[in-house]
Structure 1
Amino acid sequence: MPSSASSSSSSSLYIIGARAPDAALDGGDTDDDASGGGALSRPVAERFASSFLTQESLDALCRKYGVPDQFKAILPAGHHRACSPPPPGAVCVYAQALEAGMRVPLHGFFCEVLAHFGVAPSQIAPNGWRVMAGFLVLCHFAGVPPSLAVFRHFFSLCAHKLKGWYWFRGKDSAGALIKGLPLSLKGWKEGFFFLRSPTPWPCPVKWGEPSKVSTAEPVLTREEQIRATKLLRVHGAAVDLKTCLSESNLAAAMATGSPRPPPPPPSPRTASTAKGMDPSVYDMMKSLRAAKAAQALGEKVTAKSEPGSDTPLSGTKRKLADDATKQGLPRHEPSTPLDHAHGSSSGAAPPGFSTQRASKSSVRDHDPVPKPRHTPDLPDGGDTAGWEAARRMLQSIVAPSRERAFSAAKPSDVIESSFVTMLEAANCVSFSLGYALELEEKLAAREREADALRRELTEAKAELAGARKASAGEARSARAAALEEYLGSTEHMLRQAKHALAGYERGMEHMKRAALRRYPHLDPEQLVVPPDGGGP
């Protein structure tokens, strides 16, 4: 990736505003499609008509790239363009996208990438399909499940010089995984057709535009960081796509995943809340997790303030500082909430407290925690009864041993001890909320897996019922054919002849007995009736 692209913006969406001298900057398309060279408007993309003229050419193309028979290729009719809304149940496909590694039915990873950026398959240039297919093959041979976050860690979405088309470029900062993208692709924008599916497509079918959120830099989890490191370690140097994207490699990689529908878009309200959890608590939980993840990477992050308060939650800072001290690193004491609110140093007395040391008698005779000089917003119009009741309630929950320790300590030490306890409690709350969020995410994943298994079970039952019905029909047809064949066979004729002969002999015996009773003088040997009914 050119250095100018990597340093120009922190966003992963790169919009090309002028014609680039290097063909790789626009996805490998060097056709002179426009004279201006800048980002062109939508009507310019509508000028490209399909170059396919016969249905036979489409059918041959589908057979070449193994498109199943249940998918029907359709010639673009009338004013249909690649950016036009497709026919019902269809999606636009480029011939060079199939050559680049796109396969039908779409792999689940392809569907996830398209659904995340909100673009249709026809918006991805052939080199974009090469990058996605190459990443899928590399993940397969490294034994790493393909992940959208890991893919976005290595590649950024780039806009084509013609508005509406996109491709993917590797990030120098993440490390090079692939190389060998074609620098020149001729006529790929005209080589499109529509492909109708018997089931709904698990990806967008109409042209869209990626949002800023979808193109933001991803934050990898620990597991995803391990996957990214393993990809770089297993493959070493960048892999050439010319040798990577062979038919055998693509077939092996595609066999490891099946198309699945993307998760439904979250609603504005329920997207940030978990089941049975208050929205504000859920938002605070997410902010605490983000702060801990950023601090783990060595960043300086200020935790989100509690709603309606100017005091930030800095419990994770204190925990990190204690860990750094144990490891022999320089410790940076976090500033207290009072420091943030009033600008005082950690060693100064907080507002409302005297800097003079209290005597032991005053500490014993009075409260273990000194009363503030000013009590703003007193309840009941300034009456201190409410404050006294609150003080007595808090004092009643302090253990006697802790109360004696407080009495013998300075007020500043009491405040410091209380603050450390609050920080420890905040750490426990942060861990509990983070663990609750992880459980919620696992539960949602399990529910999605259960839904997928239920759908597969329903489909399997339907296929089994169809197979049983077809098997019963085939059995009836086989029985009828076997009967018809048997009736015309020599064996059947022989059995009929034997049966007829036995009947003839029985009839002759009955006839002789009847004739001899009536005419005893007759010779039995002369009483013969030929089988054909003629005379002797």
Structure 2
Amino acid sequence: MAKVESVFQSFLEVNAVWRTHRVCDPSFSRMIRLEPCPTGEGVFMGKSTDPPYFYVYQCFFRDLGVRLPFTPFECDFLNYVNAAPSQIHPNSWGFLRAFQVLCTVLGIEVSLRVFLHFYQLKLGAPPYGVLSLNEGKDGGLFTLYSQSYKNYRQEFFRVAMVGVDPLEDGGFYFGGLPRFPFYWCPDPSGFNGVDPSRLTAPEVAAIENLKALPRPLDCKLILSLQCLVHKERGLESECLVFQ
């Protein structure tokens, strides 16, 4: 991990990502800047700077439909496991995204505790191991997005928050504090399901409804519904956004 360097080493290359992928909500386009990572820089090397930044992988936007700022559910998950976005394996990001799409389509509230019920977190070898979601005792919800995510670790770049006031912004900050860990966390928090006593009655009902589905559901197929839902509404140019 320490020897992996980014293929995005110039602004020309990261600007191509900006042009070809839906990186952020249009209202946030002036608040962030994509930045290259020079030789010797790794995703675990971030530290507090001005402007602050965090690392992301190209596949977040190319494959999985991630769109900045992260949704409240995604921020809650990153805080729960105490990890920066780049510490989570892309297939696990696929689970996070597919869960939000599925709940939206089924009319189920997007609940972190409901999601946690179906998964456990596998911690990679310290200090730079990637975190992966595995199915819990009741089984997971989705297939892997990709059986082999080759070269994704080389396809990272910075997202710098250049026009963000921590006291006023609600996308990346809340009450002046980051809404999720910006930089690599050396001590992530594992989990194995969720304590049933913490579940509300609607969450228990949601879990039972999801358990009744023919699992595992095809992750790519579920993610494709992000656009199909909007096409049915006559909004072909837009994709389903979770805010």
User: Which residue of the partner structure matches residue 230 of structure 1?
Assistant: 209
Q: Which has the higher contact order (CA 8 A, sep 6+)?
A: 2
User: Which residue of the partner structure matches residue 239 of structure 1?
Assistant: 217
Q: Share of identical aligned residues, percent?
A: 25
User: What SS does the aligned partner of 2:108 have?
Assistant: coil
Deviations 1:369-413 (A, max 9, x none): xxxxxxxxxxxxxxxxxxxxxxxxxxxxxxxxxxxxxxxxxxxxx
- 1:143/1:166 Cα in 2 relative to 1: closer, same or farther (>3 Å)? same
Separation in 1, partners of 2:106, 2:16:
34
1:93–1:121 contact (8 Å) kept in structure 2: yes
User: Which residue of the partner structure matches residue 52 of structure 2?
Assistant: 89
User: Which residue of the partner structure matches residue 75 of structure 2?
Assistant: 111
User: Which residue of the partner structure matches residue 80 of structure 1?
Assistant: 41
- 1:75/1:46 Cα in 2 relative to 1: closer, same or farther (>3 Å)? same
User: Which residue of the partner structure matches residue 5 of structure 2?
Assistant: 49
1:214-225 paired onto structure 2 within 5 Å: 215-220=191-196, 221=199, 222-225=201-204
Separation in 1, partners of 2:209, 2:93:
23
User: Which residue of the partner structure matches residue 355 of structure 1?
Assistant: none
User: What SS does the aligned partner of 1:179 have?
Assistant: coil
Deviations 1:8-61 (A, max 9, x none): xxxxxxxxxxxxxxxxxxxxxxxxxxxxxxxxxxxxx22111111332221221
1:282-361 paired onto structure 2 within 5 Å: none
User: Which residue of the partner structure matches residue 203 of structure 1?
Assistant: 180
How large is the Cα RMSD of the aligned pairs? 2.3
User: What SS does the aligned partner of 1:127 have?
Assistant: helix
Separation in 1, partners of 2:156, 2:66:
13
Separation in 1, partners of 2:74, 2:12:
28
User: What SS does the aligned partner of 2:104 have?
Assistant: helix
Separation in 1, partners of 2:194, 2:139:
15
1:346-425 paired onto structure 2 within 5 Å: none
The structure 1 residue matched to 2:93, chosen from 111, 115, 129, is: 129
Q: State the one-letter code of the partner of 1:61.
A: V
Q: Look at both structures and tell me which one has the larger radius of gyration over its CA atoms.
A: 1
Separation in 2, partners of 1:117, 1:168:
11
Separation in 1, partners of 2:110, 2:208:
13
Shift of 1:249: 5.6
1:479-490 paired onto structure 2 within 5 Å: none
Q: State the one-letter code of the partner of 1:72.
A: R
Are positions 1:185 and 2:149 aligned together?
Answer: yes
Deviations 1:167-212 (A, max 9, x none): 21222x324421243111211111110011233532101111223x
Shift of 1:161: 5.6
Deviations 1:256-295 (A, max 9, x none): x2xxxxxxxxxxxxxxxxxxxxxxxxxxxxxxxxxxxxxx
Separation in 1, partners of 2:192, 2:156:
31
User: What SS does the aligned partner of 1:168 have?
Assistant: strand
Are positions 1:169 and 2:144 aligned together?
Answer: no
- 1:48/1:176 Cα in 2 relative to 1: closer, same or farther (>3 Å)? closer
Deviations 1:84-119 (A, max 9, x none): 115432110111222233221111111000011110
Q: State the one-letter code of the partner of 1:63.
A: R
- 1:252/1:108 Cα in 2 relative to 1: closer, same or farther (>3 Å)? farther
User: Which residue of the partner structure matches residue 232 of structure 2?
Assistant: none
Q: Which runs of 4+ in 1 moved over 6 A?
A: none
User: What SS does the aligned partner of 2:154 have?
Assistant: coil
TM-score (norm 1): 0.36
Separation in 2, partners of 1:218, 1:253:
28
Are positions 1:60 and 2:60 aligned together?
Answer: no
Separation in 2, partners of 1:100, 1:195:
17
Separation in 2, partners of 1:147, 1:239:
18
User: What SS does the aligned partner of 1:135 have?
Assistant: helix
Shift of 1:138: 1.0
Separation in 2, partners of 1:161, 1:182:
22
- 1:179/1:109 Cα in 2 relative to 1: closer, same or farther (>3 Å)? same
Deviations 1:297-317 (A, max 9, x none): xxxxxxxxxxxxxxxxxxxxx
Separation in 2, partners of 1:219, 1:118:
19
Deviations 1:419-454 (A, max 9, x none): xxxxxxxxxxxxxxxxxxxxxxxxxxxxxxxxxxxx
Separation in 1, partners of 2:194, 2:184:
24
Aligned length: 208
TM-score (norm 2): 0.76
Q: State the one-letter code of the partner of 1:141.
A: V
Q: State the one-letter code of the partner of 1:144.
A: I
Bigger proportion of residues as strand = 2
Separation in 1, partners of 2:129, 2:7:
20
Separation in 2, partners of 1:149, 1:243:
24
User: What SS does the aligned partner of 1:223 have?
Assistant: helix
1:140–1:253 contact (8 Å) kept in structure 2: no
Separation in 1, partners of 2:156, 2:58:
6
2:10–2:37 contact (8 Å) kept in structure 1: no
2:44–2:184 contact (8 Å) kept in structure 1: yes
Separation in 2, partners of 1:136, 1:253:
10
- 1:136/1:125 Cα in 2 relative to 1: closer, same or farther (>3 Å)? same
